[in-house]
Amino acid sequence: MLKAKILFVGPCESGKTVLANFLTESSDITEYSPTQGVRILEFENPHVTSNNKGTGCEFELWDCGGNAKFESCWPALMKDAHGVVIVFNADIPSQRKEMEMWYSCFVQQQSLQDTQCMLIAHHKPGSGDDKGSLSLSPPLNKLKLVHSNLEDDPEEIRMEFIKYLKSIINSMSESRDREEMSIMT
């Protein structure tokens, strides 16, 4: 059984914990409380299997605190990560500027492929959902960008996340198959 480690990273108050709880069907948190370090949510998704072989998959979603005081812990969090989801509050312009730092630190410095990264522009309830005006600078503009609004269309973000998980699992499965073939030859 494949086991994938996915990091949820981004600035404080961007919605990482709310999204992580929703996507893993964990308990709802009603009050804002900053994540201290990291929370690890383990889950399975029946819609995600390994290359249509029917092999089940397990996931660890690491909900990482966005406060810079935890930066010294980041190398340990990043170890053996298969994917990175960068979450930001699309309604706060300063968070858009921080995205390049998160991408550089968690994707580029870890030699992950862009396909292993997903951006989520989270819109908090009542903030409106302005999907059209979000422009990102290179290299962020070539990443998969999904808007989430759990109030208006929660299933859209769930379906996009399942697609993302499938791509991560397929990549892991192909890599494992290549490794097995190299051992046999």
Beta bridge partners of 147: 121
Whether 134 has a pLDDT exceeding 60, the answer reads: yes
| pLDDT at residue number 124 | 79
Q: How many structural domains is the chain composed of? A: 1
The residue ranking higher by pLDDT, 175 or 80, is 80
Structural domain of 134? 2-184
Check: CB of residue 40 under 8 Å from CB of residue 47: no
Could you tell me the CATH number of the domain that includes residue 93? Answer: 3.40.50.300
Specify which of 82-86, 92-96, 124-128 reaches the highest per-range mean pLDDT: 82-86
On whether the pTM is more than 0.85, the answer is: yes
Beta bridge partners of 8: 63, 85
With 0-12 / 13-18 / 19 or more C-beta atoms within 10 angstroms meaning exposed / middle / buried, residue 115 is: middle
